Amino acid sequence: MSSPVGPEPCNVVCPSCHQQVTTRVEPKATTKTHLIALIMCLTCLWPCACCLYCTQCARNADHHCPSCNAFVGTYER
């Protein structure tokens, strides 16, 4: 079950433990992130490709409950 979540931690009721919590956000690289990085490497922009993995601008944000570690939702970029 997923809830509408954004790129930053948000207050939700956990679907698993039913507590009001502020989510824990884990940035996650996607296929889109890897493809953009590959294109940048092929065009001699490899320093910029490394930045994709160091910043949150090209990665999805997976939200988890800090109490029970249940998955709450994903914000897709």
Q: Give tens-digit pLDDT for 11-21.
A: 999 999 999 99
pTM score, two decimals? 0.78
Among candidates 31, 14, 5, which has minimal Cα distance to 69?
14
* Separation CA 38–CA 62 (nearest Å): 23
Residue 71 · residue 15 · CB < 8 Å: no
Render pLDDT for 36-74 as a digit per residue (tens, 0 to 9).
Answer: 889 888 888 777 788 888 887 788 999 999 999 999 999
- Non-local (6+) Cβ contacts of 58 within 8 A are 29, 32, 33, 36, 52, 77
* Separation CA 72–CA 69 (nearest Å): 9
Beta bridge partners of 11: 22
